[in-house]
A and B are shown apart, each in its own frame.
Chain A
Amino acid sequence: GNSVTQMEGPVTLSEEAFLTINCTYTATGYPSLFWYVQYPGEGLQLLLKATKADDKGSNKGFEATYRKETTSFHLEKGSVQVSDSAVYFCALKANTGFQKLVFGTGTRLLVSP
């Protein structure tokens, strides 16, 4: 079945550091890929998405590129802020029929001043 693997956390960075959170997936066909973010005490918010190979999703300084050859969708940000501290979830959705989101385990990011 479809699955998503994320790097283990927590990821601890200083403010203005470069961020990478790795995400790889296993799926048949061509799924859509998503990054969701969960701030402390809040629900899930869509951060960015990509629906086909080589697409780049971007939002709020975060970027991720859909790499079919490596089945990856790594999240990057050039300069993190304390306010980026949250849990980040990578997810996929098959694009055939009625399909659920399959989530990774989440990666906690802690940014210190």
Chain B
Amino acid sequence: DSGVTQTPKHLITATGQRVTLRCSPRSGDLSVYWYQQSLDQGLQFLIQYYNGEERAKGNILERFSAQQFPDLHSELNLSSLELGDSALYFCASSTQTATSTDTQYFGPGTRLTVL
């Protein structure tokens, strides 16, 4: 158990809908990362937050957005869903200071299926 929790574990929805994925980082970790794992794209970094602020963006679509709340949990919002958004979405956390070499610990993931 990494200490990172994600809910829900599975999500099945229809095209055009909007969903919210939730992540709670390990106790004490200030940084949260979101990754997407799909068969055709592999593991892709989406976005990172540090202590409530967006720090880095990767291959995140405009239809997707995220935020990190004062209690440090994070939510990833996916809207206008398409079939191709079906994937496993991982959250990871780390202590992450600007000069650290720390490790990212991953949650169990949320499997999103868009029908």
Contact = CB atoms under 8 A, between A and B. Distances in A.
Interface stretch (B13-21, B77-85, B98-106): B98-106
A54 to B, nearest CB: 15
Interface residues of B, number: 25
A38 B2 CA distance: 13
A34 interface: yes
Contacts of A46: 2, 103-106
A95 interface: yes
A42 B55 CA distance: 28
B25 interface: no
Nearest to B104: A101
Contacts, number: 54
A93 B106 CA distance: 15
What is the interface residue range for chain A against chain B? 20 to 34
A58 interface: no
Interface in A65-113: 89, 93, 95-103, 105-106
B45 A98 contact: no
A98 B58 CA distance: 12
B96 interface: yes
A100 B55 CA distance: 10
A103 B59 CA distance: 14
Interface string A21-40: 00000000000101010000
Given A51-B101, A98-B48, A45 B2 contact: yes
A106 B2 CA distance: 20
Interface in B85-115: 90, 92, 96, 98-99, 101, 103-109
Interface of A: 32, 34, 36, 42-46, 49, 51, 89, 93, 95-103, 105-106
Given A98-B55, A101-B33, A101-B45, 7 more contacts: A34-B103, A44-B106, A46-B104, A98-B96, A99-B56, A100-B48, A101-B104
Interface of B: 2, 31, 33, 35, 42-43, 45, 48, 50, 55-56, 58, 90, 92, 96, 98-99, 101, 103-109
